């Protein structure tokens, strides 16, 4: 009996030891797997272009329905703000209505950030006035003279004898930079031309829309996505001999509207994980339909 009890005790010790060893092995295997298998992030920080903020929010809302466990925050502030956030590592995706500048790329690389550019939509910059303003057509040269401050009265352009109030986005805005380089500087990126000192720098595209709606003397500009019934859109001609073209989806797609541009998303390196999933959605049929719904031009 004593011999049997001893054998039983020995067997139990062996079983317990084996079980403990097996459990430890399983824990170590799980830890190793966790260390080698990348875990997808459950949040995405998107920051940048004020022109694109509504588009980004619409994408985020639709994507969240497909991936309810992913939290997406979308904020504006300007293309420069978004690019700076990407460089500083405080956002996953930067929305930008202009291409990154060489100096920004160098700043990024100095911090170990490798910007990857994705062209996700096209846009036409709409020039807008109050609906009561009789002026409806302007050439690129006339726009240049207005924003430089050389034409200061609407009467010169066939309007009322009233002073022109210039509205512009702030200097960190990609829309501000694009208009300055392509209208004021006629494509010469490093040209000396600047907006008139009298120009009122507005914090957002919506601020320009609101001011134009309430000021009969104002002229401003913003992306197509902000066009509304409280402002009148000006048709623009490349020169005095060219037709006046409005910023519509078809005209931007056909490249006939003179102030058209691409819209970008930037990431640090090629998109991976949930960020790649989001980019794939942006390029999907549903994602590009959202581009049209927000009044921009799809790229696919």
197: CB partners within 8 A, 6+ apart = 149
Residue 232 shares a structural domain with residue 211: yes
Q: What are the distances in angstroms from CA 187 to CA 34, 150, 179, 181, 190? A: 52, 19, 10, 5, 9
- Least confident residue range of 11-15, 108-112, 218-222: 11-15
Identify the pLDDT of residue 9: 40
Contact 248, 235 (CB under 8 A): no
Closest to 187 measured CA to CA, from 130, 122, 258, 255: 258
Residues 114 and 137 in one domain: no
Q: Across residues 239-256, what is the average pLDDT?
A: 96
Say if 36 falls within a structural domain: no
pLDDT digits (tens, 9 = 90+) for 122-151: 999 999 999 999 999 999 999 999 999 999
CATH at residue 141: 3.40.190.10
CA 166/CA 194 separation, integer angstroms: 13
**Tens-place pLDDT, residues 148-170:** 999 999 999 999 999 999 999 99
Tens-digit pLDDT profile for residues 12-37: 333 333 344 444 443 334 333 333 33
Q: Where are the alpha helices (DSSP H) in 129-215?
A: 140-148, 174-179, 205-214
Whether 9 maps to a domain, the answer reads no
73, 87: one domain:
yes
Is residue 164 domain-shared with residue 223, that is, in the same domain? yes
Is 110 found in the same domain as 194? no
Task: Give the domain range for residue 229.
Answer: 123-260
Structure confidence at residue 46 (pLDDT): 98
Statement to judge: residues 244 and 277 lie in one domain: no
Same domain, 146 and 237: yes
**Are the C-beta atoms of 237 and 83 separated by less than 8 Å?**
no
- Please count the structural domains in the chain: 2
User: What pLDDT is recorded for position 41?
Assistant: 56
Q: What is the pLDDT of residues 167-209, one digit of tens each?
A: 999 999 999 999 999 999 999 988 999 999 999 999 999 999 9
Q: Note whether residue 22 is domain-resident.
A: no
pLDDT of residue 118: 98
pLDDT at 44 over 90: yes
| Residues 230 and 110 placed together within one structural domain of the fold | no
Q: What is the reported pLDDT for 39?
A: 40
CA distances from 33 to 25, 68, 186 (A): 12, 25, 57
Q: Are residues 86 and 141 in the same domain?
A: no
Q: Are 174 and 153 members of one domain?
A: yes
Q: Coil, strand, or helix at residue 171?
A: coil
């Amino acid at each position: 009996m004593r011999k049997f009890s001893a054998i039983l005790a020995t067997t139990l010790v062996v079983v317990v030891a084996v079980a403990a060893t097996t459990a430890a092995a399983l824990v170590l295997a799980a830890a190793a797997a966790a260390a080698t298998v990348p875990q997808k992030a459950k949040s995405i920080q998107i920051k940048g272009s004020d022109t694109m903020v509504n588009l980004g929010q619409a994408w985020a809302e639709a994507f969240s329905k497909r991936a309810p466990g992913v939290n997406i925050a979308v904020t504006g502030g300007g293309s420069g703000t978004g690019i700076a956030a990407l460089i500083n590592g405080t956002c996953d995706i930067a929305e930008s209505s202009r291409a990154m500048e060489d100096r920004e790329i160098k700043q990024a690389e100095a911090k170990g950030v490798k910007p990857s550019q994705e062209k996700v939509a096209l846009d036409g910059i709409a020039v807008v006035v109050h609906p009561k303003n009789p002026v409806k057509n302007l050439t690129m040269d006339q726009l240049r003279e207005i924003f430089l401050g050389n034409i200061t009265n609407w009467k010169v352009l066939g309007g009322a004898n009233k002073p022109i109030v210039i509205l512009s986005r702030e200097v960190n805005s990609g829309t501000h930079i694009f208009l300055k380089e392509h209208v004021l500087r006629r494509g010469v990126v490093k040209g000396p031309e600047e907006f008139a000192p009298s120009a009122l720098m507005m914090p957002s595209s919506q601020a320009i829309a609101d001011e134009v709606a309430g000021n009969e003397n104002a002229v401003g500009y913003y992306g197509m996505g902000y066009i509304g019934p409280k402002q009148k859109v000006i048709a623009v001609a490349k020169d005095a001999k060219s037709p006046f073209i409005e910023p519509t989806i078809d005209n931007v797609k056909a490249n006939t509207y003179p102030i058209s541009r691409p819209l970008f998303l930037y990431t640090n390196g090629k998109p991976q994980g949930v960020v790649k999933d989001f980019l794939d959605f942006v390029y999907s049929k549903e994602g590009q339909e959202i581009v049209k719904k927000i009044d921009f031009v799809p790229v696919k």
